[in-house]
Structures are given as structure tokens and as C-alpha cells.
Amino acid sequence: MLELLFLLLPIATLYGWYMGQRNAKKSQEQVSNKFSRDYMTGLNFLLSNQQEKAVDVFLSMLQKQESENQISLQSQFEAELTLGNLFRSRGEVDRALRIHQNLENNPDYSFEQKLLAKQQLAKDFLSAGFYDRAENYFISLVDEPEFAVNALTHLTLIYQKMREWQKAINTSEKLLKLGIDNHIPLSHYYCEYAQLCKHNEKHFTLLLEKSLKYSPNSPRALMLFGEYYLKQLNYQQAIYYFETIIERDPDYIGEVLQKIEYCYQQLNQIDNFELFLIRAAQVKNNSRIDIALADRIAQKDGIEAAQFKLYKQVKQHPNLFTFHHFIYYQMNSAKEGQGKENLALLHQMVGDRIQKGFQYRCLNCGYQSYKLIWYCPSCREWESIKPISSINDVI
């Protein structure tokens, strides 16, 4: 709605112009009054959240004033530009394209006005899904100081959609030089590009280093580095990158706990894994950490000790994950009979609930997913989707 209000500024300008003509002829006063009534009608529709009706009114106004040649050249340009934008907002991209193309080709308009027309044409093509045409128009605007940031921003989004990560990196780095903070998206572009270059180990690691340069806290780059060294059987180095996540972005530590445990097992240093879990639990309240630590306690000190540990966690930070594991310990320590059968049924029911539920959620818009994805398709933010086990939802 705010964008629509900006689009209607030229209409407000026309309104002021007509109101200024009230001392002219009576017929002009009638036109002005009619324009005033139409303008207020459209504005009332807009403010009452009836955007479709508001757009219809404003379109009718603009088309009528243009057909009657009652506006100046500058006002006519603004009116036509707005008219095209309104058509695009309604999904009538073909009509928007015709209007904006006429503006670009009109010899009566200035160079700056034609740049504005090009910008809107690029948005028209982008809205229609013609990314190559939109790209060409935005590229033509990159060297124009007033249009550079907007053009580079849209180019970055186009390259992201087309998965052309090298181009996305180039445009993002140009935006950085212009003072636009986009370190996190740029870091992910390097990660995406690195995953396409896994066959070239030197290039792969270099790209991940660049990712960490722009976003030192990037859990994705740390995970990729850890997995790289894990495949190289360099367990100590893999542990270093995996464990660094607890310091940089502890919300994601649950994603690599099994890999850390595996590395310590290969090094015959499983006690060090327990020490890490104790330290991690002090940094981040995470159900996966609690469960992993309880399993270590069960192996060393027995199920009753592990059950007591999880009981305290469930009481202090109740969530389905730790509760499910707590029931498992109770079920295994219970005597045969109706009580054990009841616990088994409860364990199964909670387990089914967890399996059917989403495992990840965007903290920005609430979008939920069954798997970890780094880019939210709903709010279009990078690194906003977190594991629910780190959010610790109450039962």
C-alpha cells in the first residue's frame, strides 16, 4: 500500500494544479471540482483497503486528463509513468510495457525522463519473467549515479533467481562499494558458487574463505568447511570448524552434533565430545545438545542418571524433543506391565507428532520447512530459517 501511495504522488500534483485553476473559466472550475471528487473517491477507497476500486478510479482519471490534453508535458510524463506502474501492479504487464516503451521512444522527453522510463521497463520485464530483457535494461542504468543502487539490487536478484552466482557476487560487491550492507547475502552467494566448484578443491576452499571474509559468523561456510575436512579424513580440522559454530551462531550447532561425535570417535577421544557438550549447553539452550549429553550420561552412569538430567531440562525448558527422549528413558527403566505399555504408547504418539511437524522455522515471517534451507522463499531473507530445536518451543 505504501508503494501505491508513492505511485499516486503525480496524481496529487495534478490535483493541486487543477485546484489552482479555480479562478479561470467556469468550465475549468467544473473540471477541477470533478477531478477533486474523483481524487477523494479514489483516496477513500485506498484508505479503506479497497485497492482494486482505488486503482480503477485513478486509472480513469489519468486516462481522461491525458485524452483531453489538459496537462503540461512534465505532468503528462508523470501521469503516463504512473499509469504504466498501476497497470503493472494490477498484473497487466503488457499494457505497462506499451506505455513505458512509448515514453522511452518519445523525442519530446528529456534524457533523465527516458532513464526513468527505462527503469520502469526493466521492472516490467522482471515482473513478466523476461529476466534477460530486464537484465539488459538494468545494466544500461548501472553507470547512472541516481539509478545505480536500484539497478544493481535488481540485477543481484535476477542473478540469484537464475543461479548465476558469479554474476551475483560481482553485483553484490559493487553494492558494497556504494555503501549498501549486504554481507550476509554475499556470503551465501560464495557458498552457492563453492558448491558448484567442489571438483576443484583449491577453488572450493578459496570461495569458502571469501564467504567467511564477508560474514565471519556464517554457519553455512563453517559447515561446508567441516564437511570438506571430514571427507579428507582430517578429523581434527573438521572438529575445529564444526565446533566454531557454537561461538559464531549457536542456533545451528544441533545440525552438526552427530558429525562432531563421529570425529571424536575416530580419534578415540569420545570424552572430549562430552566436554564439548557441557560447554555448548552453557552457551545455548538446545534440545539436541541436551539429548546428546543425556545419551553420554546414560552410557557412563546409567539410564537413571540420564533420566534425571532430562527431567530437569524438561521442567526448566519444556519442549517436545526432550520430552520424547525423557519418555524413552522412563519406558526403558519401567517394569513390564500396563505402566510400561502406557509409556510406550505415549512415546509413539509424541514421536508421531514430531515426525509430522516442521523442523525449521523462519524467525522473520514464520515460514516453516521440513529441511534446512538458507533462503526463505516467503520473506526472501537469507539465514532467517532456524532449527526449531534451537527455538525451544514450549509444549
| Inter-residue contact 344 to 354 (CB < 8 Å) | no
pLDDT in tens, 223-237: 999 999 999 999 999
More confidently predicted of 390 and 223? 223
Q: What number is the average pLDDT over the span 351-361?
A: 83
Binding residue numbers: 362, 365, 376, 379
Which domain covers residue 382, as residue numbers?
357-394
Is 386 a domain residue? Answer: yes
CA angle 69, 70, 73 (to 5 degrees): 75
pLDDT band at 394 (very low <50, low <70, confident <90, very high): very low
Q: How far apart are CA 19 and CA 12, in angstroms?
A: 10
> Does residue 129 fall inside a structural domain?
no
Contacts of 346 (CB under 8 A, 6+ apart): 327
Residues in the chain: 395
- The reply to whether 148 falls in a domain is no
Predicted confidence at residue 214, as pLDDT, reads: 96
Average pLDDT, the chain: 83
Q: Flag whether 125 is in a domain.
A: no
Any domain includes 230: no
Report if residue 206 sits inside a domain: no
Give the pLDDT confidence of 80-105 residue by residue, as tens digits: 788 788 888 888 899 889 989 988 89
Report the pLDDT value the prediction gives residue 286, as an integer from 0 to 100. 85
Cell numbers that stand for 104 in this block: 522511452
Instruction: Identify whether 243 is part of a domain.
Output: no
What is the value of pTM for the model shown?
A: 0.78
101 is a domain residue:
no
Quick one: pLDDT at residue 247?
93
| Residue ranges at the known binding site for Fe cation | 362, 365, 376, 379
Per-residue pLDDT tens for 301-355? 888 888 888 888 888 888 888 888 878 888 777 778 777 788 788 888 877 787 7
What is residue 25's predicted lDDT score, i.e. its pLDDT? 44
**Percent of the chain clearing pLDDT 70 (strictly above):** 80
> Is the torsion defined by CA of 76, 81, 85, 88 positive or negative?
positive
54 Cβ contact partners less than 8 Å away, ≥ 6 residues apart? 4, 42, 43, 45, 46
Domain count, the chain: 1
